[in-house]
Structure 1
Amino acid sequence: MGKLSTMTPALEPALETHLLRAALHAVFTLGTEKDTTQVQDLHSVLPDVLDAMLGNLLAESPDTNRLHYTLEHINYWILSRVSRERARAIRSSTTLLRSTITLPEFDNSAKFPRMGHQVAQLALFIGYPAKDITWQAREGVYRLYQLLLHQRGQAHSEDSANSAASNGIGRTQALQPEQQMCVCLSFPGLTVHEAKDLWVWDWHQDCRLLGYKNTARVGEVFGKFFSEGQRRFFLRTAVLAIQDPLLCVSQAGLLLTYSLLGEAQQLMGDKQEGVTANVMRQLRVIRHLRRVPEALQGLCL
């Protein structure tokens, strides 16, 4: 499995996809019942081998197309009905995104509309009862936020350079190297410091209330920077999740939808019990009464 990313000559795309799916299936579905010592050893080694392989695949072609291709295959498992498979998929997705941030040659210039889908899929587990899944999901969302800020920074720098060039200023003169390195930190309305506001940090609050608030923050914060395509993919994923049989995922789907539409205040409150009641009331309207709440009427996906 570890050799998949280094085979020469390069694999045909269809064969590479088949082998990637087989590798993910083998690792994510590895059983846990009646484990022998050898199986336990596999549990500790295989996820790291898989993550290294995925990182090498991305490093071969470090751009948003390859990142999307790999994440799509990983995220197929995120909504698995088996909790350990979900946990392993979220872990691998977050690990890949973490390595993406460290690739200096990563090309983030291409449009990435399905980033909205990737954000929403991970954000569905920000309030998950298992803390390890919650932390992995939060880091994955944060890494996507870094990529989004960087992409918006690139777009701004190109606009600035083009404007400068039209006024007789060369590209080098318009954007110095030190400015290129921190472009997403330097212009008004788009600073990486805003990432600190992605999460609500209040350790005195009930953990479920904190989960609700942080889930809602994702839609509120990403909504400021999403392109129209990213916004549409985010909403599609969130709305579909409302019908998920796993209650915490269904609740998160509702919160993400309302927050991106700027309607989260209809659900939020100061007490966990109040937020839960508000969310469950709207879920009942949608799932059982088959009606569309006023906040979602006119929503076009």
Structure 2
Amino acid sequence: MDPLLRSQLLQKTIRKVFQLPSLQVTKVKAGSSVPATQSQDCYQETIYIWLNMLTSLLSEAPSLETLQKILVHTNGWIDSTKISERQRAVKTTNVLLKYVSEHLDFDVSQDFPLLGQLVALLSLHLADNVKEIGLQSAEALYHLHYIMIAKMDFFIPGPSLFHYNIAKVAKAFGEHLTPSQINEVVLKAIDNLTVEDRAISQAAGKLLRSFLEECGMEMEDVRLKTEAGGAGFL
């Protein structure tokens, strides 16, 4: 398939799936003895087939470049104000990263420019008010970390390493991020310090502090750089 056509297909299908009505809308009233409706079955099957389509795209060209071509269309949805949309985005990211981490034929030697953005997004949503999103974010970070250290031989205790522990994210990913990627994480954290969602704003503070400590930077440096427009931040 032509690369541009594939990109357009991904963008449109991702929008269609992520914007589906919440599953709660299709559920029968609580306490009802009526079995699952046909619409619920259709919804579940749609999600299942769609995720299979994405992993099939990965299997056709098993590389970080292919993964990035998908994530570039899904990452923005992780910040959606709608629970159902960001829930699907985080779950999709988790499924994709899990698939990559479990297949040894993947070429992980390539550059991964989206790494900083992805680490920032998932870290912020460790503190999401929706518990499932927090758990899915922790699992996604676990798989991402596994991918980054694929050529190293040491034990990783599991997704619980990151859940409710943003400081661990900085220690785990700090050495794998380029200066520009660390810049993305820090700026993303700063952008979220004043959002209305208190859990996310607090997570942003923890994420910012953790990466500053890991990089040996001072808050005053951040203030001056931010006031200067973020140019040459690191």
- Output the amino acid matched with 1:227: T
SS in 2 for 1:31: coil
CA contact (8 A) 1:113 1:230 kept: yes
Question: Which of these residues, 151, 154, 157, is aligned with residue 196 of structure 1?
Answer: 157
Q: Percent identity?
A: 29
Cα distance in 1 between the residues matched to 2:161 and 2:94: 20
Q: How many angstroms does 1:16 deviate by?
A: 1.5
Structure 2 matches for 1:38-77, cutoff 5 A? 38-77=38-77
CA contact (8 A) 1:126 1:137 kept: yes
Q: How many angstroms does 1:259 deviate by?
A: 0.2
SS in 2 for 1:144: helix
Aligned to 1:128: 128
CA contact (8 A) 2:145 2:172 kept: no
Greater Rg by CA: 1
**Is residue 2:192 matched to residue 1:241?**
yes
**Is residue 2:97 matched to residue 1:113?**
no
**Is residue 2:9 matched to residue 1:19?**
yes
Cα distance in 1 between the residues matched to 2:5 and 2:17: 19
Q: Where does the alignment leave 5 or more consecutive residues of structure 2 unmatched? A: 28-36, 226-232
**Is residue 2:26 matched to residue 1:35?**
yes
Q: How many angstroms does 1:149 deviate by?
A: 1.2
Q: Where does the alignment leave 5 or more consecutive residues of structure 1 unmatched? A: 1-9, 154-183, 186-191, 202-209, 264-291
Aligned to 1:166: none
After TM superposition, the score normalised by the length of structure 2 is 0.81
Paired residue total: 215
- Output the amino acid matched with 2:196: P
Q: How many angstroms does 1:241 deviate by?
A: 2.5
Cα distance in 1 between the residues matched to 2:159 and 2:210: 13
Cα distance in 2 between the residues matched to 1:148 and 1:235: 20
Q: Deviation digits for residues 58-78 of structure 1, max 9, x if unmatched?
A: 111111111111112111211
Cα distance in 2 between the residues matched to 1:75 and 1:149: 22
Aligned to 2:180: 229
Aligned to 1:250: 201
